[in-house]
Amino acid sequence: MLIMAAVMAMSFFAYPIVVGSAALWMVAAVTGVHSLMSGTAAADFGGRKATAT
């Protein structure tokens, strides 16, 4: 994430499309890790998918 933030800072005014692409990559990375961790926690604690429905 730090690398993408540096890319965004270096190309903020010159290449706005790069800033947008870097922001999307950051969101994808955070979302992917969050999904993996929540799935692991559900398996560790005996959770079931869609229990509330």
pLDDT digits (tens, 9 = 90+) for 4-40: 788 878 877 888 888 888 888 888 888 888 777 777 6
Is residue 46 over pLDDT 60?
Answer: yes
3-state helix, strand, coil in the chain (%, to 5): 70, 0, 30
Beta carbons of 36 and 51 less than 8 angstroms apart? no
**pLDDT grade for 50, boundaries at 50, 70 and 90:** low
Q: Which two tokens stand for residue 4?
A: 């993408």
Residue 45 pLDDT? 66
Q: Which residue has the tokens 């890319």?
A: 7
Query: What is the Cα–Cα distance from 25 to 21, expressed in whole angstroms?
Result: 6
By the 10 Å C-beta count (0-12 exposed, 13-18 middle, 19+ buried), 43 is classed as exposed
